[in-house]
Amino acid sequence: MKKRRILIVCRWPVGGIRTYLNYSYRHFSRDEFEVTLLANREIESEYVERDMKALGIRVVWVRSILGQNVLPLSIAWLLLTRKYDLIHSQGFISGFYAATINKLFRVPHVLTIHGILEKEYFEGRLERLKRLMFRQALRNVTVFHGVSRDMLTHVQEEMPSLKGCPAEWVVINNGIDPAPFLAASPQADRVLRERYGIDRDVFVFGFFGRLIQQKGFNYVIDAVELLRKNRPTERKFLVLVLSRGDFVREYKADVERKKLTDFFRFERTEPDIHEIMAGCDAVLMPSNWEAWGLLANEAHCAGVPLIASTCIGLREAIEDTPTLTVPPGDAAALAEAMVTVMTDPTVKERHLGFRHEAAERFNVKKSAEQLIELFRRVGRGGSGG
Least Cα distance to 59 among 25, 29, 97, 92 occurs for 25
Residue-wise pLDDT for 220-238, tens only, equals 999 999 999 987 766 899 9
Per-residue pLDDT at 385: 54
Report the distance separating Cα 109 and Cα 204, nearest Å.
44
On the question of pLDDT at 63 being above 90, the answer is no
pLDDT confidence of residue 243 = 87
CA pair distance 233, 241, nearest whole angstrom: 21
CA–CA distance, 292 with 124 (Å, rounded to integer): 30
Which pairing describes strands 33-39 and 109-113: parallel, antiparallel, or unpaired? unpaired
| Contact residues for 108 (Cβ-Cβ < 8 A; gap 6+) | 85, 86, 87, 142, 143, 378, 379, 380, 382, 384, 385
One-character DSSP codes across 10-72? ES---HHHHHHHHHHHTTS-TTTEEEEEEE---TTHHHHHHHHHHTT-EEEEPPEETTEE-HH
Please report, in angstroms and rounded to a whole number, the separation of the first and last CA atoms in the chain. Answer: 17
**Are the beta carbons of 98 and 89 closer than 8 angstroms?**
yes
CA nearest neighbour of 36 among 90, 76, 94, 78: 78
Give the three-state DSSP class for 6.
strand
Taking only the tens place, the pLDDT of each residue in 353-364 is 999 999 999 999
For residue 382, pLDDT beyond 70? no
Cβ–Cβ < 8 Å for 163, 189: no
Q: Is the dihedral of CA 137, 157, 115, 174 positive or negative?
A: negative
Angle between helix 127-138 and helix 92-102 axes, rounded to 10 deg? 70
Q: What's the whole-number average pLDDT of the chain?
A: 93
The backbone region for 179, taken as left when phi is positive above 0, alpha when psi lies in -120 to 50, beta otherwise, is alpha
Average pLDDT in the 251-277 region? 92
Residue 204 parent element (H or E): strand 202-208
Return d(Cα 385, Cα 370) in angstroms, integer.
17
pLDDT tops 60 at residue 384: no
What distances in angstroms separate CA 200 from CA 58, 71, 189, 197, 281, one per listed residue? 45, 49, 9, 9, 11
Q: What is the pLDDT of residue 89?
A: 98
Q: In Å, what is the CA distance from 273 to each residue of 23, 112, 278?
A: 14, 25, 8
Is residue 10 within 8 Å of residue 91, measured between CB atoms? yes
Return the ∠ at Cα 237 (arms to 290 and 336), rounded to 5°: 55
The phi, psi pair for 114, rounded to 5°, reads: -110, 5
Using a pLDDT cut of 90, give the percent of the chain over it: 81
Mean pLDDT, residues 121-149 taken together: 89
What per-residue string of b and e applies to 267-290 under the rule 16 or more CB within 10 Å gives b? eebeeebbbbbbbbbbbbbbbbbb
| pLDDT recorded at residue 261 | 96
Question: For 286-344, what is each residue's pLDDT tens digit?
Answer: 999 999 999 999 999 999 999 999 999 999 999 999 999 999 999 999 999 999 999 99
**168 pLDDT more than 60:** yes
With a CB cutoff of 8 Å and minimum separation 6, the contacts of 368 are 23, 24, 25, 26, 27, 28, 175
**For residue 45, what pLDDT band results from cuts at 50, 70 and 90?**
confident
- Would you say the CATH fold of 179-361 matches that of 4-175+364-378? yes
Span 64-69, average pLDDT: 74
Kindly list the domain boundaries of the chain, sorted by start residue.
Answer: 4-175+364-378, 179-361
Pairwise CA distance, residues 34 & 56, whole Å: 8
% of residues, the chain, pLDDT over 70 = 98
Domain 179-361 has CATH 3.40.50.2000: yes
CATH topology of domain 4-175+364-378: Rossmann fold (3.40.50)
pLDDT at 365: 96
Mean pLDDT of 158-176: 93
pLDDT computed for residue 269 by the predictor: 81
Q: What confidence score (pLDDT) does residue 64 get?
A: 77
Is 282 a residue whose pLDDT tops 60?
A: yes
